[in-house]
Amino acid sequence: TITQFTSPKLIREILAQRNFAPRKSLGQNFLVDGNILDKIANAAELDPSDRVLEIGPGLGALTAKLLERAGLVVAVEYDRGLYSILQEQFGEAANLRLNHQDFMEFDLGRLSGAATASGTGRWKVVANLPYYITTPAIFKLVESEIAWAAMVFLVQKEVALRMTAEPGGKDYGALTVMLNYYGRVERVAPVPKTVFYPAPQVDSAIVRIRPVADPEHRRLYPYLHRVVQAAFGQRRKTVLNALQSVAGDKEAGGAILESLGIDPGRRGETLDGEEFAALARALRERDS
Ligand code: SAM
């Protein structure tokens, strides 16, 4: 039977038995609230044909909820101590594949062979992300070859605000533009710091990303990435200056802006998603 570590007391006990202290450097804040765990799992709208990738299962509280709902869960945990606790806890679960690895090193190509009992269903990602790899982990997923059906993350509140920010504001940045090009981003629910053990410094939020199928996605993405990096690499830079490095020189950059009717004196961080995509398209066309 699987012990559900849904109280701080139980977690303290199991950790003390093993001389294990939560590591701040690995973002180890464990969820101890069954309602929040249900909210995360529900937001993924799972059914038995779904396959789930979980990043950082920790003590397995969320993993247990995912196993109840999905056909298969592939979980990647970096911490050796937690990995062995997970193995003991879930050793018998037929629809779980545990991996002891740094997610940033994990080869997503390995997922293609994993099937549920009913075959190969949609892939979803569900994770209470370790905060220090939030942005690179999301970029890794978005840039992968896998057609994710949905991603549900628990992230720091300020990251959730960045993901859903409007152009021009302080939260608007590369993460905002790239994610909103990739799909629709929603803030599902706020999560207070009191539902974790140990409690983190800041509040969190559940976010859901539903990818939008776009046939030009693969080809446009690298161009968008370059324009966005240039625009946000140095705030307060004009869009003309930002584009100069990507387009080759100022003249080429200016011509592209003129053809799109974008004022070259605007600051990069005021461009909306459509304008960034238009710039990426113009650069791609020039190359082809
Ligand atoms: N899922 C658990 C929960 O909700 O209670 C734990 C979430 S905790 C915020 C983040 C987890 O990610 C920890 O178990 C931590 O050890 C793990 N982790 C940290 N860095 C990782 C990495 N690079 N790759 C995979 N897992 C990582």
Cα–Cα distances in angstroms (integers) from residue 89 to residues 19, 40, 64, 82, 131, in the given order: 17, 21, 10, 10, 25
Output the pLDDT for position 203. 97
94-114 pLDDT tens trace: 899 999 999 999 999 999 888
Output the pLDDT for position 178. 94
Output the pLDDT for position 32. 93
pLDDT category at 93 given cuts 50, 70, 90 is confident
Output the pLDDT for position 112. 86
Per the model's pLDDT, the better-predicted residue between 68 and 6 turns out to be 68
How remote is the C-alpha of 233 from its chain's centroid? 21
Output the pLDDT for position 3. 62
- ipTM computed for the complex: 0.99
- Which residue, judged by its Cα, is nearest atom 8 of ligand 1? 28
Output the pLDDT for position 87. 95
Beta strand 183-191 with 148-156 is unpaired
Q: Has residue 215 got a pLDDT over 90?
A: no
State the distance from the centre of ligand 1 to the C-alpha of 209, rounded, in angstroms.
20
The mean pLDDT of 223-244, rounded to a whole number, is 91
186-203 pLDDT tens trace: 999 999 999 999 999 999
Average pLDDT over the chain, rounded to an integer: 93
Share of the chain above pLDDT 70, in %: 98
pLDDT category at 145 given cuts 50, 70, 90 is confident
34-50 pLDDT tens trace: 999 999 999 999 999 99
> Which residue among 103, 131, 135, 138 has the greatest number of ligand 1 atoms within 8 angstroms of its CB, and so is best to mutate?
103
- Which residue, judged by its Cα, is nearest atom 17 of ligand 1? 56
Output the pLDDT for position 191. 98
The mean pLDDT of 225-248, rounded to a whole number, is 91
> Which residue among 35, 89, 99, 128 has the greatest number of ligand 1 atoms within 8 angstroms of its CB, and so is best to mutate?
128
Output the pLDDT for position 235. 77
Q: Has residue 250 got a pLDDT over 70?
A: yes
Q: Has residue 175 got a pLDDT over 90?
A: yes
Output the pLDDT for position 64. 95
Output the pLDDT for position 258. 97
Enter the pTM of the model. Answer: 0.94
Output the pLDDT for position 2. 58
Task: Say if ligand 1 is within 6 A of residue 57 CB.
Answer: yes
